[in-house]
Amino acid sequence: MTNILDVGRIAALNDILRRSLSGGTIVLTAGIVALGRERQQMILDAIAAFDRFDADNDPHGEHDVGALEAGGERVMFKIDCFDRSGRFASPDPADASVTTRVLTVMLAGEY
């Protein structure tokens, strides 16, 4: 079980990845890729600016999931935390030294 301080650190690390596209791996689904670079950039910019986290869409306070309109599309993003090998869940998502973050960006219809 993650304590409250850890949840704050997880959210901060997730926000860094979402806002700066650094600190993890970015995965764009086929639907996002098909939109072209200009619309992809619009979508990534909108995800970086996303700040509408609340109890309904972020019940654990980790800032790891969101849905929004961007680039003329309904899109979703999800941040998963894996161990350094990328094979299993991270043993401690609050510790960047043992965690590989993956931000997946998809069209809502691809979910």
Over residues 50-70, the pLDDT tens digits come to 999 999 999 999 999 999 999
Cα–Cα distances (Å) from 16 to 23, 34, 60, 110, in that order, read: 7, 26, 18, 25
Q: Is the pLDDT of residue 3 over 80?
A: no
Q: pTM for this structure?
A: 0.93
pLDDT at 5 (0 to 100): 63
How does the average pLDDT of the chain come out, rounded? 94
Please choose, from the candidates 80, 84, 85, the residue with its C-alpha nearest in 3D space to the C-alpha of residue 103. 80
pLDDT at 111 (0 to 100): 85
Mean pLDDT for 32-53 is: 97
Which residues are registered as beta bridge partners of 89? 82
Torsion of Cα atoms, 85 then 90 then 64 then 34, to 10°: 20
Q: Is the pLDDT of residue 4 over 70?
A: no
Mean pLDDT for 86-107 is: 97
